[in-house]
Amino acid sequence: MPFRLLKFALSKEHPEPRMFQSRDRLKSSYDAVIIGGGGHGLAAAYYLSRDYDMSNIAVIEKGYIGSGNTGRNTTIIRSNYLTPEGVKFYDESVRLWQDLSQDFDLNLFYSTRGHFTLAHTDSALRTMRWRAEVNKHFGIDSEVVSPDDIQSACPPMNLACGGHAPVLGALYHAPGSIARHDAVAWGYGRGADQRGVEIHQQTEVLGITVQSGRVTGVDTNRGHVSTPKVLCAVAGFTPRILDMVGLRSPLYIHPLQALVSEPMKPWLDPIIVSGSLHVYVSQTARGELVMGASLDPYELHSTRSTFDFAEGLAAHMLELFPFLSHVKIVRQWAGLADMTPDFAPIMGKTPIEGFYLDSGWGTWGFKATPVAGKTMAHTVACDRNHDLIQEFSLSRFKDYQLVGEKGAASVGH
Amino acid sequence: MNEMRLLPIPGEWIDRRQLIDFTFEGRRVTGYAGDTISSALWASGYRILGRSFKYHRPRGILSFANHDTNTLMQNGQMLNVRADVLSIRSDMALTAINSMGDVRSDRAHVLDFFSAFLPVGFYYKAFHTKKLFPFWEKVIRRMTGLGTVDPSTPHIRTAKRYDFCDVLVIGAGISGLSAALSAAQAGVDVVIVDENLHPGGSGQYQLGGEMAQAQHTANLVKSVQQHPRIRLYTETEAAGYYDDHWVPLVGRNYLSKMRAESVIVATGVYEQPAVFRNNDLPGVMLASAAQRLIYRYGVKPMNRAVVLTANSDGYRAAVDLIAQGITVVAVVDLRESYVEDQWTKKLCDRGVKIFPNHCIYEASSNPANDGVSAAIVCSLNSGNPETGFAQLISCDGILMSVGWAAAANLLYQAKTKMRFDDHVQQFVPHILPPGIFACGRVNGIFHIEQKRCDGQRAGLEAAAYLGKSDLTKIAVLPEAESPSHPFPIVAHPKGKNFVDFDEDLQLKDFYNAAQEGFDNIELLKRYTTVGMGASQGKHSNMNALRILARITNKTPEQVGTTTARPFFHPVPMSHLAGRGFTPERRTPLHSRHEALGAEFMLAGAWRRPEYYRQRGKNREDCIRLEVEAVRNGVGIIDVGTLGKLEIRGADAAEFLERVYTGRYTSMKIGTTRYALMLDETGVIVDDGVIARLSAEHFYFTTTTSGAATVYWELSRLNTMWRLDCGIVNLTGARSSINLVGSHARTVLAKLTDFELSEAAFPYLAVREMRIAGMPAIAMRVGFVGEWGYEIHVAADSALALWDALMNAGADYNIRPFGVEAQRVLRLEKGHLIVGQDTDGLTTPMEANLGWAVKLDKPFFVGQRSLQIIAKRTPKHTLVGFVLEKNFKGTPPQECHLIIDNNEIAGRVTSIAFSPTLQCYIGLAYIKPGLSEVGNSFSIRTTDGTSVMATVSKTPFYDPDNARQKKIATVRREVVV
Amino acid sequence: MTGFRVSPICDAMRLAQRATSEKMAKPSSEESLIATEREINQMRFAQGNSSGHSTTLGITDLSFLTRFGVKGAAAAAWLHAQNLPIPDAPNRWLPLRGGGLIARLGFNEFLIEDSINSSIAPQLIELSQHPPAKVYPVLRQDAAIALGGSLILDLLAQTCSLHFRALNLSECPVVLTTMVGVNVTIIPGEIYRIWCDGTYGVYLWQTLLNIIEEMQGGAVEFEQLLPL
Amino acid sequence: MKLITCPINGTRPVSEFVYGGELRLISDPQALDDQTWAEQVFYRNGAPGIKKEWWCHVPSNTWFIAERNTATDETLNTYLYGEEDSR
């Protein structure tokens, strides 16, 4: 038993302070306002206060911290992207992830499991080689492996997939990890709070005031605050915020659903993804299988669940893992994915001075949490796009300079 | 051994004539047919049925209502079996799942003594140094999880069906049955479901000793069963509520997707535990659990009971115990006083001591540590226990009857607005969505007569919603007193007063979590994991909410509930998956390919011959021989998977002008032309060949993978543009076969009278002719670069055509070839494949297809974007390349990168050894500075070695397309 | 030289035959022959030999019936001019004099199928060689099957999301929907007629037959499920 | 499963339909400057609300317009393209 746990047994009172203060009112002005108290918004606040000495900041969250996609995703972390800009960006993220538990002094259960993206067709296999080669070029541990390699990493898997779509190989990414998603928001929240950042939960932004092309303040349901800088980090709600400042974007919102099973004894070590079967799955520290599939097929700004999703995902899961027939699904849920045409995020400065975007996170936002926070903190503090996000600006669409992440649109997550 | 079995009780669910033996933890147990695992074990004197999740404390029966998750068991390949509801069978060999060794002496029970080290969220606060986490993670993973999956479990394909009804009633208790009956009497078709083995709900066990009530319920059940408009399904769980009144019903061996016009939720309430120290000892159970044990299974819950209550239900439960000869030592009532009625009188008459304004401060464990020995009772002072005046009342069981929580999960999922009703201390529906109704206890109506009225009301309202009844107002009287106590929770300095039995959460855990800032119901849930266990908070969410309300000084309404998501009860994956339908498409020639030894590959829903196996030859040799056959003689390939479309009408040409990049209005009749399709952003999405059959009639092909989407998109565009033309999708109705090679014309000539000379049927022409007596469309197109015909016939004639061609070609050693050979052949010709040599962002300029784009047309999809793109230099372009003639090493593969000055300068999209040219050839994207013909560049292979390649002109083979236009007179005249 | 036509479902029956004889692990004797090949309208097709199933649940291949498709804004008028009755609303069908049927698929598309004795479709194919404006002939190469028996609604409930019981059969409805993942056209009635793209025929047949056999039904001779 | 009403084939589960995106009427492309055109092509009306959308009933290949609230997934009206007024 770790020594640290002794204090709980030895002290009469629970020896833990509040992680985040609750505050009665908003101040009348802040140096920056961050809209969205999810992982990204809190991470930006954390790095702003830690690295740029900016702590007169309000994080404004409509619900509670981590209530959006931070608490709704399937917690997969990887960096095996396709484009150089994507790979560099996510690689930095993985690097930050690995130290996060220690930085926070909070166990995020950051668990390196290895990540297999299965190929069922020769074209998928080709795409994986592409990704592996680009990854290796940037020093990312990523390779195409054979069915035998997959089988030995996950002996019970049925690589024949019921004869419908046999597995031909996989992209293997050893650093692929999972983490306890809620705790990420708490860790960043606590860190920011300790440095003086105000986190205002259950506070809704109603409008943003812009004067001659500059942000001047934010209207909330708890009153107006003035600020020269606003960071929008609200994922699926981005289009609504953009409406407030009169900006348009290519973002379109589709729900992304997920399922979780009853706990069972651990049998699945790696993270398994199959683009063809629309399945990704990992087993949590509690023994549950967390599963997801592809985006819902049409625009919707609601986190409702659909039964057809559960049916389809279960059917595909059983093709790969027929022995899960008796395993029960406990719960399903959904998040709102803000998709972009090239499957890369939209980050950085905008045509409105002092208004910064951290959006376009689609199905890949969780894994970017640390690096998005870090780069956006730099961007907000210096009013200059961080080097790692130069390619991700909103203006790239108008300039037909799309990022090639969609180039091989085989699989996300 | 049935030491706890009672004498037979009318209406019981067990069949005492049928004994069933099974094993639990290796011991033989005997029960009756109809027993659940828990009832049979309890009857046999077992007390420890499972171990708790975190502290491995002994646990017995708690709710006995399908959410006793501490008693989940393993039965062979079945994991997490619910002992409280699953009927016993003689082939069961059960073990407790969360126990190290025998459940009675679980070695992991020492964790209980360390519980002080393991406060709420302890795992966030330790184990996380980067070095040590992997170790601790292993330890945690060893302790975690419930049951075990057996990898040899077969793929179970459960039948699923769609079903429909006017009104779906969920819950066949008194109110549900009444609702079903009144709706059916109004003339609508009703389906009523209940998760229990038999209908009747609490009407058959919360009796207060009055068997007449059970009889009334039975009569109601009978009326429902006999009504011709009602279908009653028991052992059927409503898994969740989905949009548009869609409710999946889960039965033992089937799943039914019920589409109702209207839904009545009569799901009742979950009884909630009181929170006091050691409230989890085996023998401490909910009063309703005890009543179900008695009236359904004839099992004595205990011999000597203390009843903790805060409502009249507890008194009735006490009377039920007494009626079965069980000693009730005391009734402890949390309320300051109680209303005297027939039940309290009955208890007083029997000499039962009633303690109003008292609480159970703690329960004492017996020496064997497998049950209760006493209840320690204190009086209350303004709700706080006066611990100085504790009395110890010895007993072997404690009943808890302190309140209820609405089983409103389905109502929440249906987006019902709920409100907290202070009078009944429960969330009740406030605004119901259209077509959704609620009745009975979930609606806050508890009194048995009122439940009947409320059911009638809901049934009539549902019928009225469907236009089948004029609404007659039915008055439902409110409850006389609250069935639920506002705070049945007693603090204790030593803790172990459990709120969530799934997750082993104690009262102090909630205070501690709130102290750490998790004082919002959703954050509290996530931090403590309350309600996240397998019972999904059915017994814990309400108490957690009350505790949080007290901590934050809010009302339960202000605290609000967490979001209720499907499923209501966990659903097996086999039920969700069903049979698993995976549509497969076959061309009409599939059986021929099989007979010829085809190795198939997936192409969407199709299976296409990748190559044909030959005895004694490996894959590469087979493919090479197929390539050579085409180059040197004649080959045949099934290309029936191509999309095949037809467009007719005055505006047909105009339509094609708008959707494809080339020019088609000027096409001569009887000719074909390459067709390239872009999206609005100028990116290549598909390609094919367009043939003009007459002035107003075109026939054209798409890629195999693009067929469906292209047809949809063209249909949409035609809907929008309203041109005078009609598109017909012939992908499945027509079959197509390519006959290619220098002997192709000779072979075809055997089967047709049609003039096949270059003059009569030139390169790139299309002709309608009869081949082997069949009407066919033949095109002189050449993806593979030889004299060839793409022949399209009606699908039902494809076999005949294939056989005829094979016969006619026999003298020329005709050889069928597969997709792989075709890829090599087209590569020799430098033709790209959309999707392989292009990606999701490739423009025609990059792909070197500028020639196929007529930018000066008035309009085509993608044109405007292309005008912008055309102004700038492409980032990379597609070029052909060759490896050294005598290259011997491991060749690069598709998607290997081109490296220039240690930077990525492009990538290979196609590469193959050309049997014809005897060297490796390929296509690659490469940045502008390197794309000159003759330029050398370096490709990095998987193992890191560099391979030099040289940019080459394409086509690699027969650059003047002579072979497609002229019959090769001499074989092997190929110039390299 | 004359070709022969083959039903798109022919392979499925051959596969079933092979599976059965493999199961019996002996050369197929007279009784174990579950399918025979026949030829009608110059089309080869295979069919079940059992006769008993048609009362519980029987399936048969009717792809050999001749049929004709046409669409376009002027299709109805053109068919009318050929003396055919036109269903007055979308997704309705009518019987043809002399046997067979005409089904209206949506507003502007029609499927005409002959009975075993009639030959209207071949005539229409001939007549539509040079169609007038806004008349677009549609080559029909369907896998066409018939289902019959007392358990048919149960089979449909397992394979198709449509509420067949709610249809008013007196209106002669035609249903365009999906079944086990395949787009189908269905005419309900005592006997259910189903048409789908021929390239899905083997899959549809095999999937339905598996369930039918679970329900103690099977493939039957077409005469037992012959439509109008 | 969500229900959608095809104007021709009636009410069916959403699995029978394909979503074709928001109905966007683009004016003469040549009349727009490069920037305006690029915005037209890439930018979306991304915020939730009642939108006119293309939907196709796949078994019958019927394209139609649905007016749908993208916040609640309620379909308010469906009609064939250009026949909005006839309903």
Buried residues in A341-374 as b, exposed as e (16+ CB within 10 A):
bbbbbbbbbbebebbbbbbbbbbbbbbbbbbbbb
Single-letter amino acid, residue B788: G
pLDDT in tens, B109-146: 888 888 887 888 888 888 888 888 888 888 888 888 89
Does residue C127 sit in the same domain as residue C158?
Answer: no
* Same fold: A25-72+182-250+342-408 with A112-174+252-339: no
ipTM, interface predicted TM-score of the complex: 0.95
Q: Which of the following CATH numbers is that of domain B159-270+405-465: 3.30.300.30, 3.50.50.60, 1.10.357.10, 3.90.550.10?
A: 3.50.50.60
Residue B110 at interface with chain A, using a CB cutoff of 8 Å: no
Cβ contact, residue pair B80, A264, below 8 Å: yes
Phi/psi for B191 (5° steps) reads -115, 130
Query: Is the bond preceding B282 in cis, omega lying within 30 degrees of 0?
Result: no
Give the domain extent around C128.
67-138
Chains in contact with D via at least 3 Cβ–Cβ pairs below 8 Å: A, B, C
Cβ contact, residue pair D16, C106, below 8 Å: no
Higher pLDDT, A1 or B767: B767
Does residue C167 sit in the same domain as residue C218?
Answer: yes
Does residue C123 sit in the same domain as residue C86?
Answer: yes
Q: For chain C, what is the mean pLDDT? A: 90
pLDDT in tens, B36-94: 999 999 999 999 999 998 999 999 999 999 999 999 999 999 999 999 999 999 999 99
**How far, in whole angstroms, is CA B427 from its chain's centroid?**
30
Q: Spell out the SS3 assignment of B28-78.
A: EEEEEECCEHHHHHHHCCCCCCEECCCCCCEECCCCCCCCCHHHEEEECCE
Does residue C145 sit in the same domain as residue C215?
Answer: yes
Is the residue at D33 inside a domain? yes
Token pair belonging to C6: 């083959």
Q: What is the pLDDT along chain A (413 residues), one digit of tens a residue?
A: 566 677 777 777 888 889 999 888 999 999 999 999 999 999 999 999 999 999 999 999 999 999 999 999 999 999 999 999 999 999 999 999 999 999 999 999 999 999 999 999 999 999 999 999 999 999 999 999 999 999 999 999 999 998 889 999 999 999 999 999 999 999 999 999 999 999 999 999 999 999 999 999 999 999 999 999 999 999 999 999 999 999 999 999 999 999 999 999 999 999 999 988 889 999 999 999 999 998 999 999 999 999 999 999 999 999 999 999 999 999 999 999 999 999 999 999 999 999 999 999 999 999 999 999 999 999 999 999 999 999 999 999 999 999 988 765 543 33
CA torsion, ordered B805, B807, B809, B810, to nearest 10 deg: 160
Element (H, E) at B389: strand B384-394
Residue A304 at interface with chain D, using a CB cutoff of 8 Å: yes
Phi/psi for B354 (5° steps) reads -110, 130
Tell me how far apart the alpha carbons of residues B747 and A87 are, in angstroms, rounded to a whole number. Answer: 54
Q: Give the CA distances from residue B26 to residues B23, B47, B51, B95, B101, in Å, rounded to whole numbers and listed in that order.
A: 6, 16, 17, 8, 11
Does residue C57 sit in the same domain as residue C145?
Answer: yes
pLDDT in tens, B963-974: 888 765 444 433
Number of domains in chain D: 1
Q: Which residue is closest to B722 within chain C, CA to CA?
A: C73
Range B273-402 has CATH code 3.40.50.2300: no
Sorted by sequence, the CB contacts under 8 Å of residue B196 that are 6+ apart come out as: B85, B172, B234, B235
- pLDDT number for residue A3: 66
Q: For chain B, what is the mean pLDDT? A: 95
Cβ contact, residue pair D37, B865, below 8 Å: yes
Q: Does residue B257 surpass a pLDDT of 70?
A: yes
Cβ contact, residue pair B164, C165, below 8 Å: yes
Cβ contact, residue pair A285, B141, below 8 Å: yes
| Cβ atoms within 10 Å, residue B349 | 8
Beta carbons of A106 and A190 less than 8 angstroms apart: yes
Taking the domains of chain B in order of start, what are their residue ranges?
Answer: 1-154, 159-270+405-465, 273-402, 491-573, 638-813
- pLDDT number for residue C188: 97
| Cβ atoms within 10 Å, residue B215 | 14
- pLDDT number for residue B100: 87
Q: Which residue is closest to C180 within chain B, CA to CA?
A: B581
User: Domain with D62 in it: what CATH number?
Assistant: 3.30.2270.10
Closest partner CB to C178 (pick from D8, D16, D62) = D16
Does residue C97 sit in the same domain as residue C134?
Answer: yes
pLDDT band at B976 (very low <50, low <70, confident <90, very high): very low
Does residue C37 sit in the same domain as residue C71?
Answer: no
Closest partner CB to D9 (pick from C161, C176, C184) = C176
For the segment B204-220, the average pLDDT, to the nearest whole number, is 95
User: Domain with C52 in it: what CATH number?
Assistant: 3.30.1360.120
- pLDDT number for residue D86: 55
- ∠ CA B463-B464-B466, rounded to 5°: 65
Phi/psi for A13 (5° steps) reads -90, 155
Cβ contact, residue pair B719, D3, below 8 Å: no
Tell me how far apart the alpha carbons of residues A89 and A124 are, in angstroms, rounded to a whole number. Answer: 24
Tell me how far apart the alpha carbons of residues A135 and A187 are, in angstroms, rounded to a whole number. Answer: 29
Q: Which residue is closest to B940 within chain A, CA to CA?
A: A133
Number of domains in chain C: 2
Single-letter amino acid, residue B407: A
Chains D and B touch (3+ CB pairs under 8 A): yes
Percent of chain B with pLDDT over 70: 99
**How far, in whole angstroms, is CA B235 from its chain's centroid?**
22
Residue D15 at interface with chain C, using a CB cutoff of 8 Å: yes
Taking the domains of chain A in order of start, what are their residue ranges?
Answer: 25-72+182-250+342-408, 112-174+252-339
Closest CA to B175 of B197, B202, B157: B202
Cβ contact, residue pair A4, B126, below 8 Å: yes
Give the domain extent around D69.
3-79
Does residue C109 sit in the same domain as residue C54?
Answer: no
Which phi-psi region, left, alpha or beta, contains residue B906 (left: φ > 0; alpha: ψ -120 to 50)? left
Is the residue at D75 inside a domain? yes
Does residue C86 sit in the same domain as residue C40?
Answer: no
- ∠ CA B214-B216-B222, rounded to 5°: 105
Is the residue at D14 inside a domain? yes
Which phi-psi region, left, alpha or beta, contains residue B444 (left: φ > 0; alpha: ψ -120 to 50)? left
Q: Which residue is closest to B415 within chain D, CA to CA?
A: D72
Tell me how far apart the alpha carbons of residues B697 and B651 are, in angstroms, rounded to a whole number. Answer: 10
Does residue C112 sit in the same domain as residue C79?
Answer: yes
pLDDT in tens, C140-182: 999 999 999 999 999 999 999 999 999 999 999 999 999 999 9
Q: Which residues pair with B951 in a beta bridge?
A: B881
pLDDT in tens, B93-107: 999 998 888 998 888
- pLDDT number for residue B664: 96
Looking at the complex, report in whole angstroms how far the Cα of residue B753 sits from the nearest Cα belonging to chain D: 39
Closest CA to A187 of B515, B124, B128: B124
CA torsion, ordered B476, B480, B483, B485, to nearest 10 deg: 140
Task: Identify the domain boundary among C107, C138, C169.
Answer: C138
Looking at the complex, report in whole angstroms how far the Cα of residue C27 sits from the nearest Cα belonging to chain D: 42
Beta carbons of C128 and C72 less than 8 angstroms apart: no
Residue D3 at interface with chain C, using a CB cutoff of 8 Å: no
Token pair belonging to A182: 């809620």
Does residue C10 sit in the same domain as residue C117?
Answer: no
pLDDT in tens, B929-967: 999 999 999 999 999 999 999 999 999 999 988 888 876
**Distance in Å from the first CA to the final CA of chain A:** 35
- Structurally, what CATH architecture does the domain formed by B638-813 represent? 2-Layer Sandwich (3.30)
Assigned CATH for A112-174+252-339: 3.30.9.10
Single-letter amino acid, residue A165: A
Parallel, antiparallel, or unpaired: how do β-strands A214-220 and A223-226 relate? antiparallel
Burial of B69 (0-12, 13-18, 19+ CB in 10 A): buried
Q: Where are the beta strands (DSSP E) in B741-787?
A: 766-771, 774-779
Cβ contact, residue pair D34, B868, below 8 Å: yes
Chain C hits for D12, Cβ within 8 Å: 161-162, 177
Tell me how far apart the alpha carbons of residues C143 and C141 are, in angstroms, rounded to a whole number. Answer: 7
| Cβ atoms within 10 Å, residue B776 | 24
pLDDT in tens, B643-698: 999 999 999 999 999 999 999 999 999 999 999 999 999 999 999 999 999 999 99
Q: Where are the beta strands (DSSP E) in A192-303?
A: 198-200, 205-211, 214-220, 223-226, 230-232, 252-261, 271-274, 279-283, 289-292
For the segment B896-902, the average pLDDT, to the nearest whole number, is 96
Parallel, antiparallel, or unpaired: how do β-strands A57-60 and A32-35 relate? parallel
Closest CA to B96 of B111, B112, B79: B79
Chains C and B touch (3+ CB pairs under 8 A): yes
Does residue C43 sit in the same domain as residue C74?
Answer: no
Phi/psi for B257 (5° steps) reads -95, 100
In terms of CATH, what superfamily is A25-72+182-250+342-408?
FAD/NAD(P)-binding domain (3.50.50.60)
Sorted by sequence, the CB contacts under 8 Å of residue B228 that are 6+ apart come out as: none
- pLDDT number for residue A162: 84
Closest partner CB to A306 (pick from D1, D47, D48) = D1
Tell me how far apart the alpha carbons of residues B707 and B702 are, in angstroms, rounded to a whole number. Answer: 6
Closest CA to B7 of B321, B396, B324: B324
- ∠ CA A329-A332-A334, rounded to 5°: 155
Cβ contact, residue pair A300, D70, below 8 Å: yes
Looking at the complex, report in whole angstroms how far the Cα of residue B225 sits from the nearest Cα belonging to chain C: 22
Single-letter amino acid, residue B512: N
In terms of CATH, what superfamily is B491-573?
BFD-like [2Fe-2S]-binding domain (1.10.10.1100)
Chain C hits for B795, Cβ within 8 Å: 8, 141, 198-199
Tell me how far apart the alpha carbons of residues B277 and C48 are, in angstroms, rounded to a whole number. Answer: 71
pLDDT in tens, B580-621: 999 999 999 999 999 999 999 999 999 999 999 999 999 999
Chains in contact with A via at least 3 Cβ–Cβ pairs below 8 Å: B, D
Is the residue at D69 inside a domain? yes
Q: Which of the following CATH numbers is that of domain B1-154: 3.10.20.440, 2.60.40.1930, 3.30.413.10, 3.30.70.560?
A: 3.10.20.440
Beta carbons of B490 and B312 less than 8 angstroms apart: no
* Same fold: B491-573 with B638-813: no
Beta carbons of A221 and A184 less than 8 angstroms apart: no
Task: Identify the domain boundary among C105, C138, C171.
Answer: C138
Q: Does residue C51 surpass a pLDDT of 80?
A: no
Looking at the complex, report in whole angstroms how far the Cα of residue D59 sits from the nearest Cα belonging to chain C: 5
Chains in contact with B via at least 3 Cβ–Cβ pairs below 8 Å: A, C, D
Token pair belonging to B312: 């009249």
